[in-house]
Each structure stands twice: as C-alpha cells, then as structure tokens.
Amino acid sequence: MAKLYIVPTPIGNLEDITFRAVKVLSEADLILAEDTRTSSTLMKRYNITVHMESHHKYNEHKSVERVAEKILSGMNVALISDAGTPGISDPGFLLVRECRERGIEVETLPGPTAFVPALINSGYPADRFCFEGFLPMKKGRQTRLKDLSEEQRTIIFYESPYRLVKTLTQLAEYLGEEREAAVSRELSKFHEENRRGTLSELAAWYTANEPRGEIVIVVSAKKRDPGNR
C-alpha cells in the first residue's frame, strides 16, 4: 500500500542526510518540495531524478486533498522542506492530518532539525525545554512574550536575520536584560557561529554586526526563587 513519507533534509551541509532518506527519495513516485529550485541542488547531489512539485504554506490548504488522492491511487509521496524536518515551522502538518483522516499510512524518517544542535551548543539544560518556533509577527506577540517571562525551562526560538535585533531587544525587555542566551547562526555551514551572552549583550552585538543566515535563539530558563520550592 502506498504511503506518505516525511523526509528530513540537511539544514546546511548536504552531507547531513541519511542513507535511508536518499533511498526513500530515489524510490518515491513524487517528491513534494517547499521550493523545488532550492531542493534541486540536493537532488542533483545525490542523482535523484524523481519528479518534484511545490508544496508550501501558500498552496498547502488547496493541495492536501489532491495529494491524498494521489497516494490512494497508488503513488508513494515524499514530503521535504527547504531544510530540516517538515512540520517543524515548515509545511507538513496539514498533509499529515489529511492522510491520517483518510487512513493513509505516514512514515516519518528521523533526521536534521536546527533547534537540536543549537540547544546542545548553548550549554543550557536540555532535559526540559520549550520550543516556540517563530514568535507571532504582530497579533499576540506581546502576550506571548509576557507568558514566556515566567517560563522555567530553556526556551528555543527560530528567527530571521532581519528581525533578530528586534526580537533580542524585546526578549530583554520582557525576560530581563541580564537573562543568559545563545544565538546559533548558519548551523552546519562554513560560517557557523554560536554566540553566548546576556540578551542585552547579544542585541548590542547584532546591532553592530549585521547577521545573516538561518538563526536559532536559545534562552536560559528563569531562575527559581529559592523561597518557592
């Protein structure tokens, strides 16, 4: 019986892909890619010639039923994003839900996810953490920051280089200027950077040094009040 495969792809270094992922992609009848132009580089690297179609946040609401019908007709479909694991701040949830509701088997391969190496690199406790992905752009942003100000687990965010300084400044405002944090940039790539400091120090650094590339922010947990145990 045909199924949907969720296939993680490298977040930077193209060698960070599993043998199994290459096998699944090579044997699929169709590959759904967030951006076929971006994914074509990976496909060429591993001599994968399977037909690709676009599946991104702007068309996924309309395409999930059509994709499910293709799988039900006997096609094995693999879903990939531009980088990392589909469904983690990338398209994937709607298609998986549609397949589950129709009784279509979904098989998710393990693989790259940007926040895991960033969390480990930070040196902050990883036994309990809170993954927030991207903060709301406008509506609900301040409310979310207020809620997180009391979070007693390590907190992880994704951010773009264009909003990094704004986000660090706001985190300093709501969580405290002296709260320790780490910024990981361009993970697994040649110019990888992992920088630690207080939120105010990091905001000042990236104000003076314009950031580039994909970014993960890891914020240390709020310290517990010794009187409250």
Confidence of residue 148 (pLDDT cuts 50, 70, 90): very high
Confidence of residue 172 (pLDDT cuts 50, 70, 90): very high
Structure pTM?
Answer: 0.91
Interatomic CA distance for residues 130 and 3, integer angstroms: 31
Specify the pLDDT at position 225: 66
Specify the pLDDT at position 221: 95
For 37, 40, 211, 213, 219, the CA distances from 159, given in Å and listed in that order, are 23, 25, 11, 10, 13
- Is residue 105 within a helix (H) or strand (E), and if so which, with residue range? none
Specify the pLDDT at position 104: 98
Better-predicted residue by pLDDT, 193 or 229? 193
Residue 54 has pLDDT above 60, yes or no: yes
Instruction: Give the pair of three-digit tokens for residue 45.
Output: 């690297």
The pLDDT of 176-181, averaged and rounded, is 96
Query: What structural domains and CATH numbers belong to the chain?
Result: 4-108 (3.40.1010.10), 115-219 (3.30.950.10)
Better-predicted residue by pLDDT, 169 or 61? 169
Specify the pLDDT at position 223: 83
Interatomic CA distance for residues 213 and 159, integer angstroms: 10
Specify the pLDDT at position 228: 53
- Is residue 195 within a helix (H) or strand (E), and if so which, with residue range? strand 193-198
- The SS3 assignment for 220 reads coil
The pLDDT of 39-47, averaged and rounded, is 97
